[in-house]
């Protein structure tokens, strides 16, 4: 760049600027139109998954259907004894979904200016019981046997230059009453109260109507904490554990354990025996990032995004023992929730 540039913007520069503007904005416009067309095809064509007309009777797995085509993003269900078989689609659209105790918790994004988020609580027939506004992006939801609904959302700042985000985890009943934000509970780490500012709470898993497990994070550390609604306390159980999931027989808790330090983030599965306190690590080559769900007392489910296919994912199953290998259980699925009708 020289000091002796021509006076004025100059015809040549103006022309170059106009050409660049037309080229880049034109290209972006064309791409946007194509993206719109692709979206239309993806959501209106035949589903990439095999469909059935009626909801499966008895025990089932409900999930978010991510198969391209009709019903993309909707809540779907497969029979528990034929999880890889045909799925029934609902017209309920959810980002995260859980079903238990005759209630469905459906966390969803409402597109608009600005985009907002909400949690729809529905009954087993799909009728809306209550809509609860969410302060941020849907992340985790679970329901207790007695109908307590737990949700975790990510609350982000306006700008990633500020880079601030936090989680908000609330537990409410379908009628809107409940225990509010778990961040207001008293938190104890190894006998000392945790008063740090950057406390974040996420991923509730219920033991009973009064007890639950949850993740608490502060200062780059995470803890598995046991919570009590009546005492309004959270008490640390073990360090480095996220997104707990209590087994159906209540004897174990499975969670994400962060392994591998530095710039890469990698989580393996860990299972904690609540009686013996023994922690079993199940190493995963590709890692995972989801709240585990127990298929039964021996097997775990989790979602994995498909590489190279944005917005599509599969649900994997893995034995809850060391050296186990995961395999795909439900294709084009996300956010699995096992619904047991008996006992």
Touching other proteins, residues 43-72 (CB under 8 A): none
Smallest distance, Å, CB 158 to other proteins? Answer: 5
| Residue 80: CB atoms within 10 Å | 17
Question: Is the dihedral angle over the CA atoms 178, 181, 186, 190 positive or is it negative?
Answer: positive
Q: Are 244 and 205 in contact (CB under 8 A)?
A: yes
Exposure letters 274-289 (e unless 16+ CB within 10 A, then b): beeeebbebebeebbe
| Residue 131: CB atoms within 10 Å | 14
Q: Is 161 in the site for other proteins (CB under 8 A)?
A: yes
Among 11, 53, 57, 163, binds other proteins (CB under 8 A): 163
Find the binding residues for other proteins in span 171-200 (CB under 8 A). 195-200
- Measured CA to CA, the distance from residue 106 to residue 95 in angstroms comes to 7
Smallest distance, Å, CB 9 to other proteins? Answer: 5
Q: Is 139 in the site for other proteins (CB under 8 A)?
A: yes
Q: Are 90 and 76 in contact (CB under 8 A)?
A: yes
Smallest distance, Å, CB 197 to other proteins? Answer: 3
Find the binding residues for other proteins in span 98-117 (CB under 8 A). 109, 111-117
Q: Is 342 in the site for other proteins (CB under 8 A)?
A: no
Q: Is 125 in the site for other proteins (CB under 8 A)?
A: no
Q: H or E stretch including 27?
A: helix 11-44
Smallest distance, Å, CB 159 to other proteins? Answer: 5
Total residues at interface with other proteins (CB under 8 A): 80
Q: Is 286 in the site for other proteins (CB under 8 A)?
A: no
Find the binding residues for other proteins in span 209-248 (CB under 8 A). 217, 220, 222, 242-243
Structure tokens at 120: 């729809």
Q: Are 320 and 298 in contact (CB under 8 A)?
A: yes
273: Cβ–Cβ under 8 A, 6 or more apart, which residues?
251, 252, 279, 280
Structure tokens at 125: 């027939």
Q: Is 285 in the site for other proteins (CB under 8 A)?
A: no
Q: Which is nearer to other proteins, 9 or 342 (CB)?
A: 9
Q: Are 128 and 120 in contact (CB under 8 A)?
A: yes
Q: Is 131 in the site for other proteins (CB under 8 A)?
A: no
Among 179, 202, 213, 316, binds other proteins (CB under 8 A): 202
- Measured CA to CA, the distance from residue 318 to residue 288 in angstroms comes to 12
Q: Is 135 in the site for other proteins (CB under 8 A)?
A: yes
| Residue 339: CB atoms within 10 Å | 19
Smallest distance, Å, CB 220 to other proteins? Answer: 6
- Measured CA to CA, the distance from residue 6 to residue 194 in angstroms comes to 65
Q: Is 343 in the site for other proteins (CB under 8 A)?
A: no
From 50-58, 121-129, 153-161, 324-332, span contacting other proteins (CB under 8 A):
153-161
From 53-61, 98-106, 157-165, 322-330, span contacting other proteins (CB under 8 A):
157-165
286: Cβ–Cβ under 8 A, 6 or more apart, which residues?
304
Q: Which is nearer to other proteins, 134 or 204 (CB)?
A: 134
Q: Give the x/- contact pattern for other proteins in 242-281, rule: CB under 8 A.
A: xx-------------------xxx----------------
Q: Which is nearer to other proteins, 108 or 252 (CB)?
A: 108
Among 45, 81, 123, 165, binds other proteins (CB under 8 A): 165
Q: Are 122 and 128 in contact (CB under 8 A)?
A: yes
Among 56, 303, 326, 336, binds other proteins (CB under 8 A): 303
Q: Diameter of the chain by CA atoms?
A: 85
Q: Are 341 and 58 in contact (CB under 8 A)?
A: yes
Find the binding residues for other proteins in span 70-99 (CB under 8 A). 73, 95
């Amino acid at each position: 760049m020289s000091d002796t540039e021509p006076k004025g913007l100059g015809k040549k520069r103006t022309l170059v600027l106009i050409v660049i503007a037309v080229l880049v904005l034109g290209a972006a416009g064309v791409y946007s139109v194509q993206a719109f067309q692709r979206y239309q095809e993806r959501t209106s064509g035949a589903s990439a998954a095999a469909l059935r007309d009626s909801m499966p009777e008895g025990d089932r797995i409900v999930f978010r259907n991510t198969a391209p085509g009709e019903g993309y993003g909707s809540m779907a269900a497969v029979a528990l004894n034929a999880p890889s078989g045909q799925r029934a689609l609902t017209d309920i659209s959810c980002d995260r979904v859980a079903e238990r105790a005759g209630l469905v918790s459906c966390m969803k994004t409402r597109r608009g200016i600005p985009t907002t988020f909400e949690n729809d609580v529905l009954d087993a027939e799909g009728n809306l019981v209550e809509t609860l506004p969410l302060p941020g992006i849907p992340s985790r939801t679970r329901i207790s046997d007695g109908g307590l609904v737990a949700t975790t959302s990510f609350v982000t700042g306006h700008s990633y230059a500020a880079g601030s985000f936090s989680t908000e985890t609330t537990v409410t009943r379908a009628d809107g009453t409940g225990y509010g934000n778990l961040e207001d509970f008293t938190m104890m780490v190894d006998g000392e109260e945790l008063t740090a500012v950057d406390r974040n709470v996420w991923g509730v898993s219920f033991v009973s109507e009064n007890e639950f497990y949850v993740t608490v994070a502060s200062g780059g550390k995470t803890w598995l904490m046991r919570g009590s609604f009546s005492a309004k306390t959270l008490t640390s159980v073990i360090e480095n554990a996220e997104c707990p999931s209590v087994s159906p027989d209540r004897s174990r808790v499975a969670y994400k354990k962060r392994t591998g330090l530095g710039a890469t983030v990698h989580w393996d599965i860990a299972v904690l025996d609540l009686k013996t306190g023994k922690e079993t690590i199940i190493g995963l080559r590709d890692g995972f990032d989801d709240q585990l769900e127990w298929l039964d007392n021996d097997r775990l489910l989790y979602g994995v995004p498909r590489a190279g296919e944005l917005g599509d994912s599969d649900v994997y199953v893995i034995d809850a023992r060391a050296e186990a290998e995961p395999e795909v259980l439900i294709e084009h699925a996300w956010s699995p929730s096992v619904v047991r009708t008996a006992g």
